[in-house]
Amino acid sequence: MTIEFEKHIDPTLIPILEKVHDPEIPVLSIMDMGVVRSAQMIETIAQITITPTYSGCPAMDVIGDDIISAFAKKNIEAKVSLVLSPAWTTDWITPRGREALEKYGIAAPLHEKADKEALLGGKKIVKCTQCGSTNTKMVSQFGSTACKALFQCNDCLEPFDYFKCLK
């Protein structure tokens, strides 16, 4: 799926938006997560639209507040609204975001088919973020937050999170 939301984002607002991070995954800016759908100055107010990752994700409220305070620091009033459709997918995480996730110790989402094989078929394809081995196993489909599953490496024995593919 290709997304064309870039054109709705005023490039001058990007540096401010990049300062806002997911409170649960502090290495990931909301731009790299792909949750910002539009950002425009309408007269003196920055109108920002974001889309939730998971319906119940408590990070969304915090992200909304953080956007407002990031703009307030620049003396700009911001208004944040939430849109549900089209639904967010992990494909919207940028390459830079995927890299940041891996460095932070969270395996980036695989493609849909591979994800199913990893989560349902027990296929050893999720790479350990510590040692790089794919000799890993799923411990639980559900992890520390709604978007993650829990894995463990059979070689270095480290447990790690895997960001589930969402399409």
Residues at the site binding another protein, with contacts judged by CB under 8 A: 52, 54-58, 84-87, 119-120, 139-144, 146, 150, 164, 166-167
Q: Minimum distance between the CB of residue 146 and another protein, rounded to whole angstroms? A: 5
Among residues 48 and 147, whose Cβ is nearest to another protein?
Answer: 147
Q: Cα separations (Å) of 22 from 8, 9, 112, 114, 135?
A: 21, 19, 23, 26, 29
Q: Minimum distance between the CB of residue 49 and another protein, rounded to whole angstroms? A: 14
Q: Minimum distance between the CB of residue 75 and another protein, rounded to whole angstroms? A: 28
Among residues 114 and 146, whose Cβ is nearest to another protein?
Answer: 146
Among residues 139 and 156, whose Cβ is nearest to another protein?
Answer: 139
Among residues 34 and 143, whose Cβ is nearest to another protein?
Answer: 143
Q: Minimum distance between the CB of residue 88 and another protein, rounded to whole angstroms? A: 8
